[in-house]
Amino acid sequence: MANKVFNVAKRDLLKGDLDFDTATIKALLYDTSHSSDADDDTVSAFAVLDEINEAGYSRQTLANVAVTLDDVNDRAYVDADDPAFGSIVAGGTVAGCIVYKFVTDDTDSPPIVDLDLTDTLTNGQAVSVQFATTGFLLLS
């Protein structure tokens, strides 16, 4: 599965309803059975979330979220510190990461991007997601 930007995030960006300077932006990890569609408007709308549920895992609030304008390459992007999810016990397979705007719970929190990751078995070691040099959301 390829990375995708959710339609609700595209709309919210155009309407000015997604302000990375003030919003709480979080990340969650999912297992291999996850299924979502670009049309999903909230985290709870995913057909199958299959969120990692092994001990040691918890969703993370992104730190130092910043929007960068790159005039040289005619693009802008949103980046943050790479989220560290701590040591997750064996038994799961991290297949991807959803970055979303947290409101109050999954029923009103719109997803922003779905990042496809190389499948990684959890084994008690620390798990983190390394965002690209152009962040987790690139507009070009």
Q: What is the pLDDT of residue 135?
A: 97
Which of 21, 113, 107, 108 shows the shortest CA–CA distance to 64? 21
* Residue 85 tokens, joined: 């999810």
**CB within 8 A of 73, min separation 6: which ones?**
140
Q: What is the pLDDT of residue 2?
A: 78
Instruction: Give every residue of the chain whose pLDDT is below 70, as ranges.
Output: 1
Q: Collapsing DSSP states into helix, strand and coil, what is residue 106?
A: coil
| pLDDT tens digit sequence for 43-60 | 999 999 999 999 999 999
Q: What is the pLDDT of residue 91?
A: 94
Burial label for 122, CB within 10 Å (0-12, 13-18, 19+), is buried
* Residue 102 tokens, joined: 């947290």
H or E element that contains 121: strand 111-121
CB atoms within 10 A of CB 81: 13
Q: What is the pLDDT of residue 1?
A: 59
